[in-house]
Amino acid sequence: MTEAEIAKKYTRIVKTSLGQWVQAMVVKKPMSDTPEITWKGVGRMLPVRALDENVEMARLAVLKDRRFFRLCEKCNEARPASLILDSGACQECVSESKAMA
Ligand SMILES: [Zn+2]
């Protein structure tokens, strides 16, 4: 995935009357049958009239925020920190290597 695709999949924009807020996906119990997806607001709110490109930049910046995103040691792509497992690899890489074994 490109960074833009990762940002699109794992961050979202919440628009309120006060402004636009970038939120990062947080997955609870990622390896269970019933993972729970929640969203956490990151950083300061963008103005209601923020330009699309500024909103996009804010989303990409969130991918660099170590509180919410980590790099997978295997595919080297940013994933929500909750999807990076103890091995340092992301959930997708882990399930892939399991499928191959
Ligand atoms: Zn990976």
- The count of domains in the chain is 1
State the residue range of the domain holding 85. Answer: 3-100
15 CA distance to ligand 1 centroid (A)? Answer: 31
Say how many Å lie between the first and final Cα of the chain, rounded.
Answer: 24
Query: Per-residue confidence at 31, pLDDT binned at 50, 70, 90?
Result: confident
The overall average pLDDT reported for the chain is 94
Give the burial string for 54-90 (b: 16+ CB within 10 Å, else e): eebebbeebbeeeebbbbbeeeebbbbebbbbeeebb
Compute the Cα dihedral for 14, 42, 47, 17 and give only its sign. positive
CA of 9 to the centre of ligand 1 (A): 15
CA of 64 to the centre of ligand 1 (A): 16
Q: Are 49 and 41 in contact (CB under 8 A)?
A: no
Alpha carbon of 36 to ligand 1 centroid (Å): 20
Residue 99: the pLDDT is 83
Q: How far is the CA of 74 from the centre of ligand 1 (A)?
A: 5
pTM value is 0.89
pLDDT tens digits for 33-55? 899 999 999 988 999 999 999 99
Residues 8-25 have a mean pLDDT of 96
